[in-house]
Amino acid sequence: MYKKLTDEQIQIIIDSGIAEFAREGYVGANLSKIAKGAGVSVGVIYKYYSDKEALFLACVRYGLNALAEALKEVAIRSDDLTESIRSVVKTLIKHAKKNADINRMYNEITSGGAKQFAGFLAEEIEGISALVYTDLLRIAREKGKVRNDLDPGRAAFFLDNLFMMLQFSYSCDYYKERFKLYCGGKALSEDAAMEEELVKFIKYALGISE
C-alpha cells in the first residue's frame, strides 16, 4: 500500500527540485535526478506532481513564498523611505545568501530558459512588488518626500531592477564574478558597505527628503 509522504519528505523533494532546476534549468532538469536527490522514486514524485512542469511551478512558488516570508517583517513606509529601503536591501542580501538556489532558478526564468512560463510567472513574481513600490512612491511624491517630477511606475521598475540584480549578485556565478570585478574580491563578504552604498544611491536617485 502506498504510504503518504510527510511534509518534511515533500519539502526534501522541493529542495531537490530547486537545486536541479537551478543547476540545469527547466529544459535540462531531470526528474530522475530530482528523485534520487530526494531519496524517493520517480513514481513517488508523480503521485504528487503530474509532470516536470507541475514540480517546477511548485518549486518557483515555494521560492516566492520564502521571499515573501523574509520580507513580511519589513515595514514599507512612505514617511521614512530611507529606512524602509534599507530594511529591504538588508533582507534581500540575507535571503540571497541563504537561498542561492532559489535565485539561480529565478535567473533561469529571466534568461529565457523557461520562456513558456514567462507571462504568468512575471505577474506572479513581480505583481505584488510592482504595486507596493508604485503606490509607495506615488504616496511619497504626494507628500513631498521624493522629487515632484518622479514617475512612480517607472521609478518602481528601476528600483525593482536594482533589487533583482542585487539578489543575483549574491547567488548566481556570473553575477558574483561581475560583482567582484566592480567592487573588489571581498565584495561578497562586505554586506554592510554594499547596503550603505545602494541605499545612498537610491536615496539620491529618488530625491528623498526626510
In the chain, domain spans: 1-72, 73-210
pLDDT, position 37? 95
Mean pLDDT (whole number) for 64-78: 75
Mean pLDDT (whole number) for 146-170: 94
**Confidence check: pLDDT of 124 > 80:** no
Query: Any idea which architecture 1-72 has in CATH?
Result: Orthogonal Bundle (1.10)
pLDDT, position 1? 45
Domain 73-210, CATH 3.40.50.280 — does that match? no
Grid coordinates representing 171 are 547567488
Domains 1-72 and 73-210 agree in fold: yes
pLDDT band of residue 112 (cuts 50, 70, 90) is: low
Grid coordinates representing 183 are 567592487
pLDDT band of residue 78 (cuts 50, 70, 90) is: low
